[in-house]
Homo-oligomer: A and B are copies of this chain.
Amino acid sequence: MNTKFPIQNLSIVFTVDKGKLKVLLLKRKEDPYKGYWVMPTKFLEKEETFFENTQKIIFDFFKIEHIFMESWKAFSFPMEQQRYLQTTVICYMDEATREYMTKETENYELEWFDVQSLPKMAFNHEEILLDALSYVRIELNHISVLKVLYPSDFTIPELQTLYEQMNETTMDRRNFRKKMLSLDILEDTLETTMVSTGRPAKLYKFKEEISIDKIF
């Protein structure tokens, strides 16, 4: 007879907000680690896949049915300390969906944290998140992933902010724009942002058919 394990499935949900990568965290209401933050988890049930499991969490919080997900690493521990396995799913949520749902979820202690200023996290969640970030940082140089985060309009400076944060660099504004336009992946929407201060930025969207996948 094979040993059986409970599976804790952890959902790492990312979004972007004004060019900053944000992660969805939940405040623990009980000990241990009361008041610390965690990524949402749920034990896997019978006849349920990881994606279905994550989908249920997302639905509970946000009442949405569709989100882009991918299975990522699993973690195992010496079984005396921790009596379950941990699997992880990475999700990317677009801005419109995130904004829609923040209004619907005021009864949860949920918050989107900038990945550059994380709060005190419980268990091994910070370690896992940092590991996931080193993966996601690279993914965000791929147009296929950016298209998930930006199904509609975005500005070039916004993309540049994201790019700079993910690659820990800075770039000249002219050069970044020139590069983006030269890739032949952007479509000018002829709209501009309505922003509080400064000149409004032009809004672009990704073209339908794009043959390349890397921006740098």
Q: Which residues of A pack against B, CB within 8 Å?
A: 2-7, 43-51, 71-80, 84-85, 87
Contacts and interface: CB of A to CB of B under 8 A. Distances in A.
B47 A76 contact: no
Contact of A76 (B44, B78, B79): B44
B73 A43 contact: no
8 contacts: A2-B84, A3-B43, A3-B45, A4-B5, A48-B78, A48-B79, A49-B78, A71-B75
A8 to B, nearest CB: 9
B74 A74 contact: yes
Nearest to A70: B73
B77 A43 contact: no
Contact of A3 (B46, B50, B71, B74): B46
A213 to B, nearest CB: 11
A7 B71 contact: no
Most chain-B Cβ atoms within 10 A of its Cβ — which of A51, A76, A87?
Answer: A76
Contact of A50 (B45, B48, B74): B74
Contact of A74 (B48, B71, B80): B71
A73 B73 contact: yes
B46 A85 contact: no
Contacts of A75: 71
A115 B189 CA distance: 44
A68 B167 CA distance: 26
A2 B43 contact: yes
Q: Which 9 A-B pairs have the closest CB atoms?
A: A4-B4, A2-B6, A74-B74, A47-B79, A49-B76, A2-B43, A74-B87, A50-B76, A71-B73
Nearest to A43: B2
A28 B75 CA distance: 28
